[in-house]
Amino acid sequence: MKLMSETKENPQVFAVFGNPVKHSLSPLMHNAAYREMGLHAVYIPFCVKNLTEAVSGIRGLPISGVSVTIPFKTGVMDLLDEVDEDARKIGAVNTIRNDAGKLTGFNTDWTGLALSLAGVMEIAGKRFAVLGAGGAARAAVFALLKKKGNVTILNRTRDRGEKLAREFGCEFRPLVEANEIRADCLINTTSVGMAPHEGASPFGPFKPGDFRWVVDIIYNPLKTKLLADAEAAGCSILNGLDMFVLQGAEQIRLWTGKEPPEDVMRNVVLGALGGGHPVPGPGR
Ligand code: ATR
């Protein structure tokens, strides 16, 4: 893949489009990666007011690659020249690559989730309960089915959950029946419990033995109430830190064709979250 020349005068420009974006840790994580990789590149946050004009700007400026975040992951799809098959099935694009003016959309959220889970457990043949039916749930369900897991969707609102289950050909249970669910792994894809609402949890109380693993896609706080409750009930837990890092690492692969320094990325994010000492990634 031919990207812009990396001369001193012309750094390669990458960006994140969102609204709001001021709390995004992506600029910190990507810029740390580029520094470590010796790339002459910068990654800039843009709080987008008009998505159509912003996407034109990718071509016009030009910007080599863009991360797309809330609330644009679905709306951006119609503005691109091509959307890869996985992203189309998920119905969301979180990554745009600019190949000499041709904009292609990808989804690396599902890859981040699949890689993070695969670092701690076997997915194939295991039973997963996915809590939520929004965009994040779609990426999670796609990832689990692609890796041959069995999925039950749990959602507060029946209609929305049933619709998602029908589309992906999996089972649905209303969240109020959650205490009847047994699975190898529960994955929270809702934002319930995210800072600044650390006291909230979408699920509970846990009964020991219901789930071997409980996973939260949230990484701020690093240990949500859901994960703390699950741990207290004897479950193994996994937070969303690695999913976040690995979706970003996959973006760098798509944009540069080069291998990103995942440990550097993880540690800079962990530092920003007040997570204490640098840690090596699980299983990598
Ligand atoms: P995203 O695209 O980030 O996943 P979303 O589309 O707003 O966000 O979806 C949010 C999900 O979180 C939904 O499944 C929502 O459940 P409903 O369909 O019933 O609205 C779920 N959710 C939000 N707040 C919740 C809460 N307090 N308890 C349980 N589920 C909740």
Q: How far is the CA of 255 from the centre of ligand 1 (A)?
A: 31
Give mean pLDDT, residues 209-228: 95
Give 45's strand partners: 16
Q: What's the confidence (pLDDT) of residue 281?
A: 38
pLDDT-based confidence at residue 134 (cuts at 50, 70, 90): very high
Report the predicted TM-score, pTM, of the whole model to 2 decimal places. Answer: 0.92
Helix (H, G, I), strand (E, B) or coil at 60: helix
Quote the pLDDT of residue 87.
98
Pocket test for ligand 1, best of 162, 190, 218, 226 (most atoms within 8 A of CB): 190
Cis peptide before 62 (omega within 30 of 0): yes
Instruction: Say yes or no: CB of residue 136 within 6 Å of ligand 1.
Output: yes
Model confidence pLDDT, tens digit, residues 141-177 = 999 999 999 999 999 999 999 999 999 999 999 999 8
pLDDT digits (tens, 9 = 90+) for 121-130: 999 999 999 9
Mean pLDDT value across the chain: 93
Residue 35 to residue 56: CA distance in whole angstroms: 28
Ligand 1 atom at minimum distance from 156 CA? 19
- 3-state SS string over 173-209? EEHHHHHHCCEEEEEECCCCCCCCCCCCCCCCCCCCC
Which is the closest atom of ligand 1 to the Cα of 70? Answer: 3
**Is omega for the bond preceding 205 within 30 degrees of 0, making it cis?**
yes
The string of pLDDT tens digits covering residues 39-91 is: 999 999 999 999 999 999 999 999 999 999 999 999 999 999 999 999 999 99
Q: Where are the alpha helices (H) located in the chain, listed in sequence order?
A: 26-37, 51-60, 85-90, 109-118, 135-146, 158-168, 225-232, 241-256, 262-272
